[in-house]
Structure 1
Amino acid sequence: MLRGLTTVTFFADDVAAAGSWYAGLLGVEPYFVRPVAGTPAYVEFRIGDYQHELGIADSRFAVGGRPSDGEGGGAVVYWHVDEVQAAFERLLSLGATVHEKPVERGPGFVTASVVDPFGNVLGVMHNRHYLDVLASAGR
């Protein structure tokens, strides 16, 4: 039924600012930008070993609204990183705030999450199974 991650969509009141922040974090510009009335309403990046899509949409398109308490909300999607502590510290240095400090979940599994400057929860994880799948695919 679920065959793989296609697109993760975050929301922001200022898509241009969020797109710039994520471009700085990821080291790439969005490959797709959809303007509405001259400003971006949606930007999308392709990132990682499998070119997964990270989209940022204007908050006005968020079904059911967004959390308003400033703590971030929604599901936590974890992106594999080689060094969780280093990724966590970099995110904080770029203006994200702590959602959950790094936690070892078991041998080969460490997670952490932050709230980006736009209210989205961004998770990072070292996941040995991800590396096993990557190696079996010859990557």
Structure 2
Amino acid sequence: MLRGMATVSFYAEDVKAARDWYAEFLGTEAYFAVPSAEEPVYVEFRFGDFQAELGIINAKFAPHKVDGGPAGAILNWQVDDLEATLARLVELGATVNEGIVERGNNTGFRTASVVDPFGNLIGIMNNPHYLEIVESTRS
């Protein structure tokens, strides 16, 4: 049984450039790098309500072809302001993969996705169920 997102892995030919781009977007530095911060082949960030992990791995280790085009599954990340987050991603150099889409007859579920400058898909979402779960953990 799936118990929750543990780590999402993205691939990039230039791990340092990807690390810097994600540090700018996430507003936090990578907390882990292998073999070193100066010459990483893997970096990892922790962020968000449940300290989700994002790992960026050198593309030479990818189990699939990495060529700068969109790749991977779309994992949707909860955001408070979908429009502002989408605009920020585009401002940082991401390209829109799918614009904002209402999901489910005005139930509050809305998604969008972009392709980062390294070819990875990033989904962003307004998800009322996620907010209910977060609120229930605070009681």
Of 64, 86, 89, the residue aligned with 2:87 is: 89
Greater fraction of residues in strand: 1
Of 95, 98, 101, the residue aligned with 2:99 is: 101
Q: CA deviation at 1:76?
A: 0.2
For residues 58-89 of structure 1, the C-alpha deviation after alignment (integer angstroms, 9 at most, x for no partner) is 000101323x3x43022100100011111001
Corresponding letter in the other structure for 2:93: G
Q: RMSD between aligned alpha carbons?
A: 1.3
| Pairing of 1:1-139 with structure 2 (within 5 A) | 1-35=1-35, 39-66=39-66, 68=67, 70-106=68-104, 107-138=107-138
Q: C-alpha distance in 2, partners of 1:65/1:101?
A: 26
Identity among equivalent pairs (%):
54
- Secondary structure of 1:21's match? helix
Corresponding letter in the other structure for 1:52: A
* Structure 1 stretches of 4+ moved >6 Å: none
Q: TM-score, normalised by structure 1?
A: 0.93
- In structure 1, runs of 5+ residues without a counterpart are none
Greater mean deviation of Cα atoms: 57-66 or 125-134: 57-66
Greater mean deviation of Cα atoms: 47-56 or 70-79: 70-79
Corresponding letter in the other structure for 1:100: E
Greater mean deviation of Cα atoms: 80-89 or 70-79: 70-79
Q: C-alpha distance in 1, partners of 2:96/2:83?
A: 12
